[in-house]
Structure 1
Amino acid sequence: MEQSLQYSNVLYVDDELHNLNSFKACFRRDFSVFTAQTVDEALRILKEQEIHLIVTDQRMPETTGIEFLESIIKDYPDAVRMLLTGYADIDAVVDAINKGRVFKYIQKPWEEAVLRKTIQEGLELYALTRANKKLTEELEENNKQMEFLLRQSLLS
């Protein structure tokens, strides 16, 4: 499935400026890249932009990536979430999947081609989720209309 440019806003959260700059340099031609060095910056961006996919580092000074992702699920349920870390911590992987609803767990250092493909897969998932939600809403509306027409028919 070809990635639609309609859904290409990617937010990368990492406390290391070098990582943010590298990420932006690698992916700015493929996606609309937003970067944040702190969770507060990330939250501001989430409020100002429609972010489709979030990549976050696991180990940051103020919070973990999992805690950040878990904290935004309620307000940004559709954003696809990915966790990036240099540490092979199985507990973090399990928590990421269970608490943060993480789509993919990626180890640092990341390979550009692999990460690009994974981001594209995440954005395709986002597009499919949006299309599915729209179809569900249309079906619900059609069901309401059919119910109304059926009641009218029974009453007359």
Structure 2
Amino acid sequence: MNSRRRQQVLTAVTPLLAPGEQVELISLAKVGSVSVKRRVLTSALVGALTAGTVIATVQPRPLYWALTDRRLLFFEPGSVTGRPGKPVMILPRDLIAASPARKALLGLGAQTVLTVQGEEKALKLTFPPAFKAAGRDLAARLTGTA
């Protein structure tokens, strides 16, 4: 992530920090998962409506994230500027654990699964190739912490 975007995420995080809370990592990840069924249906529908002239894919939504010594915060990028907007999810660090990072996206990216204590569903994070080092670092810092 370039320094300008990193500073924008830090600016969005700063008002939410508790006294003494420190930011450790900032990056971007695709959060969630899209079923094969939904991908196929979307592709078929768009293909039928456009007579095959347009191809559509469905992907998990990209979110900026910031790991502090107390929490993991997720921010939605603005639709026009790409700047981080309002926080969409804030998870207490002591309630989350990450699986070890593994290869994703044909081995180019990284992927981890966050489990939140008290929640049934896990949260899948996929890190594109440019952000895989930060993804591995996040997974290492959260492995077995909950």
TM category, shorter: under 0.3
Higher strand share: 2
Question: Taking structure 2 as the reference length, what is the TM-score of the superposition?
Answer: 0.23
Rg larger in structure = 1
Question: Taking structure 1 as the reference length, what is the TM-score of the superposition?
Answer: 0.22
